[in-house]
Structure 1
């Protein structure tokens, strides 16, 4: 049994951070003043251009095909603008987990759990690095002018028609903002992944403690444990230790879920619009070979970001559900009356279903991901049918 003598005593609080790279990309990088200034400039530029575009599309242009092309970019712009606005309002979503919870060192429950956590950290870090690099590549491709960008980006057409003398410099400035846009579209997912994975690892550590609640006094026969005062005292201390830790965890968990609940549903809707935007571009029939790398990298980055956030939420939810099985492994039938009460308090608290709620019906898990994909597919199907009918006529 890989349990130290002081297993249920005070724990070593996390000194470093096993997810420090994810924290840097999702939080630390946002604290630089230059980052905030770039985000602010990007937000102002795109909000102004989006408002001008909405006015022109509703009042001036009568070319329906061109309206569709410009609208695809407009719909896709909701997500990064929302992300930037929220980041400027609060960029420290993932910065204070140590203030929210006493985060145990990952070796607090023995080598077996530590190895499992380190393996998870390794895979998640690799995934985040791949996602970040893919996003950078997609961002660079969006910043480069391609052959038909005037047909896709209303801002470029606006600059060409109304500011022909300054067209080059305005285009460069506008396209440069896509560097910030690309980063903003992944950073919230990085924050979610960082926070949820730390919470998941803390559950894994607590699970190991719960499994070992009744593993003590090996020299006492099992049929004598009920009357053994030393055993019952040890069990009482261990149960109180686990109950206290679970309550500390729930305070941090509920506080953070409450803080991001409304953000998650808004991001889900914005992500839905982003998916529709991407689908419109792919079904437009206007893509030439020089656009394939841009769309491929953008699509891959979006999928990786989306899947990473969904998997992070689902894995934390699954780890909580696993606690119900773990608590049932405790040999509670040898406990005295008082310890049985404590055990049932712990069991009832753990068995209460808890999810990262977005709304009454959806949580940050596979069901939410499936709902978003189905919504995008339905809209794309309608658009594809309309596109086919228009070609026939």
Structure 2
């Protein structure tokens, strides 16, 4: 099976020149990104079972996903830039093996403190997904980079989408420890496949670790395209997060009185965004990524504006509107993300890992702000205020992209 097209002579010590990845390698990268990022979300549907199993309160068990997300944010900031300093192949394999150990620690955790420490480690090492995406961008030719990145991002997005569904089913049938064991086995297979088939990547800088981190600010200062991408995608992520962080609370209240399972089912609408990611990448290759960012921001704004009509509809019609709106804005946000990644990876090829870190730090800041702002608005002024804020945020992102 062909793993790489247009092979080149090795550049020594396992290093090869950037080259177009074949379908098998692209699938490997997409699967690796999906399985690694899915590790962040396995615990969420199992929190009730986890609390009863290890004798933790509902408040304390909520620290598990919190520390996982905190570890991921810290890992993006502190570990992702290392992809420019060292061979990405070695980093991907090493982080995958460390993620396996962290997942095994979760599976075997006898108490809450051990589980919390293991959850933080899962978040830190799951950032291997943010090493895989720049690796795919480096291997791809410029004229097909959007398509390749879009395909790998499809795997990542499907990992986020399906992780909660799979973990809920496995925990119900075989227990929560079995889910972490299965997750560890899957990541171990990815590590072995990456060691066998992923080519080496020559380091692009010799900066010390301290200077490497300091260069993140320098990159942000020097590149207006990076600032626009981080700001626009951060605004879209804020709108995205405001919706999803308040949806379950809104559906639990009158007139719906629906449980968490119903709220989770709306997440299946995210499949539209995930499956459309390669199409967004191909469109970015043909028409330019800047146009796709405007298209994505505009679609997101329209979807949230339509959701503002919900208070004037019957409860049944509101549920249908929520589903359609979720498909629309998820497609818009993911299309903009693929296009922004295409832009960012083309700014300075030698700094792709650091550029990616800056972009995703902006995204995580936006998601945190959206969760806080959405909760406050829902408590004070209701669901219309949440969708109204999300509409304004998407319009601001569109304004940034039209500059």
Q: TM-score, normalised by structure 2?
A: 0.25
